[in-house]
């Protein structure tokens, strides 16, 4: 595999000044769901000075958890000048409709299908609610948007802060220390749930389970999301720690750690993975690489890894002559292997479409 190395300074120059969310082209094959930022290799960056993995995450607008887990042998607090740090590259799209916004709280990341930009998906890191203030699951929508919002902390939060010796005012006005940041998208859920920015005091908490239930984003990211998201946009909030998807006839699996207080056993995790693999392969369990699957479910580093390769459809492999051959022999019956069954892709295309319905487990069922 080729390894593509990007120095921090050169990557920043590529994106043209301030960093923004990664925009991925959707795969050419309609059934594929693995997106790639650098198709020819692994993305790396070299520390230009002594820093931390949190600094790297901030510079590339990554979540703290994802950059730490993809570099398990590095000390998050001590990155020496010249050290090479790995960056995420491939991602498997969550199992939701490809429209609006999907928040997969298991990976602290959202996927946005911007209107007017067909064939693309944007991805942003975000923080979520901690164990005692869980972010709710389900389908909702953006009810309203506010620039420079004021924060009216609920009485429960004011009591919590007062107990810690950090009393809060009844209203926190807009400004650099407002926890909502400069932009807020209010969701159509009871309890004032929002997708919002962050203040300068909590800028390194993106990609962690630390909020009171809301979804917190980097200042640059929430501004971009605010500008491309109209009111009424559907928002799918799901919990999918394990994802499976195809790319060019390769089946990939991606696994993330469980959220705090929601740990699965290894047997439960394996059962979920088998179910998703079977679902992705026309409800048949293929002869996949079990060793690789076990490694993915043990590391839980969020990196998509290929576990199975299928043969391409028949019409993609046959190299038929442009003119009929002149064969002097009795006519032969067509080979059953070429005519008895249409290709898997065409079979899927001919099946009636069924709507996807959310379920309590955080996955969408159907198709």
Report all structural domains of the chain as residue ranges with CATH numbers, in order of start. 96-239 (2.40.440.10), 242-312+351-355 (no CATH)
- Of the candidates 126, 212, 214, 256, the residue annotated as catalytic is 214
pLDDT digits (tens, 9 = 90+) for 230-260: 999 999 999 999 999 999 999 999 999 988 7
Question: Who wins on pLDDT, 91 or 206?
Answer: 91
Other Cβ atoms within 10 Å of 167 Cβ, number: 10
Other Cβ atoms within 10 Å of 185 Cβ, number: 24
Does residue 9 have an active-site annotation?
Answer: no
**Residue 99: CB partners within 8 Å, gap ≥ 6?**
113, 234
pLDDT at 331 over 90: no
pLDDT at 55 over 80: yes
Q: What local confidence, expressed as pLDDT, does residue 268 receive?
A: 95
CA pair distance 173, 135, nearest whole angstrom:
24
Phi, psi of 309 (to 5 degrees): -125, 125
| Nearest CA among 20, 50, 5, 270 for reference residue 122 | 20
Share of the chain above pLDDT 70, in %: 71
- Of the candidates 126, 196, 212, 256, the residue annotated as catalytic is 196
Question: Who wins on pLDDT, 96 or 21?
Answer: 96
Other Cβ atoms within 10 Å of 21 Cβ, number: 20
pTM score: 0.77
pLDDT at 22 over 90: no
Does residue 196 have an active-site annotation?
Answer: yes
Q: What local confidence, expressed as pLDDT, does residue 348 receive?
A: 35
Phi, psi of 24 (to 5 degrees): -100, 140
| Nearest CA among 32, 226, 211, 247 for reference residue 108 | 211
pLDDT at 166 over 70: no
The mean predicted confidence, pLDDT, of the chain is 78
pLDDT digits (tens, 9 = 90+) for 190-219: 877 889 998 777 777 787 756 555 788 999
CA pair distance 318, 328, nearest whole angstrom:
23
Contact 209, 261 (CB under 8 A): no
pLDDT at 318 over 70: no
């Amino acid at each position: 595999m080729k390894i593509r190395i990007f120095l921090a300074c050169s990557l920043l120059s590529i994106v043209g000044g301030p960093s923004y969310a990664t925009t991925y082209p959707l795969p050419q094959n309609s059934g594929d769901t693995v997106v790639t930022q650098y198709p020819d290799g692994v993305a790396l960056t070299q520390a230009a000075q002594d820093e931390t993995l949190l600094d790297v995450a901030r510079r590339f607008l990554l979540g703290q958890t994802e950059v730490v887990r993809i570099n398990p042998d590095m000390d998050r607090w001590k990155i020496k000048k010249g050290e090479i740090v790995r960056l995420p590259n491939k991602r498997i799209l969550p199992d939701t409709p490809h429209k609006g916004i999907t928040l997969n709280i298991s990976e602290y990341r959202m996927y946005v299908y911007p209107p007017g930009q067909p064939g693309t998906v944007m991805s942003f890191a975000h923080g979520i609610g901690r164990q005692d203030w869980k972010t709710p699951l389900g389908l909702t929508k953006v009810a309203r948007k506010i620039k420079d919002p004021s924060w009216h902390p609920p009485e429960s939060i004011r009591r919590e802060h007062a107990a810690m010796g950090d009393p809060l005012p009844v209203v926190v006005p807009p400004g650099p220390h407002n926890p909502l940041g400069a932009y807020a998208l209010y969701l159509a859920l009871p309890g004032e749930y929002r997708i919002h920015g962050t203040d300068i005091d909590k800028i390194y908490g993106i990609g962690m389970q630390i909020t009171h239930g809301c979804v917190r984003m980097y200042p640059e990211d929430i501004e971009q999301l605010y500008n491309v998201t109209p009111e009424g946009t559907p928002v799918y909030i799901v919990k999918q720690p394990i994802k499976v998807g195809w790319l060019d006839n390769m089946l990939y699996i991606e696994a993330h750690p469980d959220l705090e207080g929601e740990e699965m056993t290894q047997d439960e995790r394996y059962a979920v993975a088998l179910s998703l693999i079977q679902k992705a392969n026309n409800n048949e369990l293929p002869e996949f690489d079990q060793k690789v699957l076990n490694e993915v479910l043990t590391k839980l580093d969020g990196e998509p890894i290929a576990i199975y390769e299928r043969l391409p459809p028949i019409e993609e492999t046959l190299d038929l002559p442009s003119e009929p051959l002149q064969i002097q022999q009795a006519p032969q019956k067509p080979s059953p292997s070429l005519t008895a069954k249409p290709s898997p892709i065409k079979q899927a295309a001919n099946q009636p479409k069924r709507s996807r319905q959310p379920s309590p487990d955080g996955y969408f069922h159907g198709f």
